[in-house]
Amino acid sequence: MSGTSLDGLDLCGAEFRFQNGRWSAAILAFETVSYRGTPWPERLTKAYRERGAVRAQTSLDFAAWCRDQWTDFDRRHAFGAQAVAHHGHTVEHDPARGITAQIGHEASVFDSSPIPVVGDFRSASVARGGQGAPLVPLADRDLFADFAVCLNLGGFSNASWTDSEGLRRAGDLGPCNGLLNPLAAELGLEYDPEGKHAATGQVAGSALQPICRLPYYSAPFPKSLGREWMEREFWPAFNAIRPPKPTDALATAAEHIAWSIAQGLRVAKAPHGTALLSGGGAWNSDLIRRISEHAPEWTWQVASREVLESKEALAFAYLGLLRLIGEPNVLRSYAGGQADGCDGVVYGGTKNLT
């Protein structure tokens, strides 16, 4: 899994078992291969804007690099992996225009694989008229069933829950690390550790109201966000009201993130109870405090370190498994579109999984 924060490639080795009518997962190992010191932050960012030959070559090279990383990961940990689920890196996501693009899925790289490689999880959902995101809610439902809500704090915040009719629901709630990290960069930091700098800042207060009126926040679910929305709508609105001092800007941003999470869950009528927090933002204790204050209806539980680091990569491993055994892995109840799907393109070996 390579996320919008551009920090690195997440590798998760997992074993799945089906017993007593439900799936369980054991995390065998997890690593993040940092992009620091590699060309990928620059090349992947360039691929956002440059299509054609530039994006195609980046996709080919990224696919080969990812293959080498997980091959080495598998060898060092002696998994004897039966399959690989490969999300790639999202360079375009605008489902309202029928567009989603994840690079790094190259048949020329993976067709010779001795084991199946499942990639391109989002395109089929968008082609059915859906959002193509978020895609982890089925893993949340099946692997983390004890929680009323699963909230991921990544580049964006997104959550999933089961409604009163038993349907899994989900959606992106607002910006998260994709907002905080660029502001931390103004202090010469990759991110704000534990939200310490935001905690010293002053919130802009009533100046936040224009951002809270952005149309996305009142739009019905299912819905999802992408970098395009940030550049087109959010950043212009935020920059118009942001305080000049970086610590105050961080505090204002964190307060808005907490508000958007509480707002989204209430609009969606998500069930109250214990909410599982995961994603990089779950390390941010200042942000967690703000979320707890804005949304006291939920008991906020930060996932274990193992789950905190690996959950999103684990979820895509599970989606890859479902694709290989022919089970639905994207549901219209949360992704929208005309029907459920068993999504993903399978490359390479056709070994059956049992």
- What pLDDT digit, counting tens, does each position of 39-86 carry? 999 999 999 999 999 999 999 999 999 999 999 999 999 999 999 999
Share of the chain above pLDDT 70, in %: 99
- Determine which helix (DSSP H) or strand (DSSP E) holds 348, and give its type and residue range: strand 345-348
**Which pLDDT score is estimated for 350?**
64
What are the pLDDT digits (tens) for 207-249?
Answer: 788 999 999 999 998 898 988 899 999 999 999 999 999 999 9
**Alpha helices by DSSP H, the chain:** 40-49, 52-77, 107-110, 123-127, 137-143, 177-185, 196-200, 209-212, 227-229, 235-241, 246-267, 285-294, 305-324, 332-335
Domains of the chain: 8-130+313-348 (3.30.420.40), 137-307 (3.30.420.40)
What are the pLDDT digits (tens) for 189-214?
Answer: 999 999 999 999 999 977 788 999 99
HSE, side-chain direction, 13 A CA sphere, residue 74? 13
Q: What is the mean pLDDT of the chain?
A: 94
What value does the mean pLDDT take over residues 329-340?
Answer: 95
What span, in angstroms and rounded, lies between the C-alpha atoms of 20 and 236? Answer: 52
What are the pLDDT digits (tens) for 177-187?
Answer: 999 999 999 99
pLDDT bin (cut points 50, 70, 90) of residue 134 is confident
What are the pLDDT digits (tens) for 6-47?
Answer: 889 999 999 999 999 999 999 999 999 999 999 999 999 999
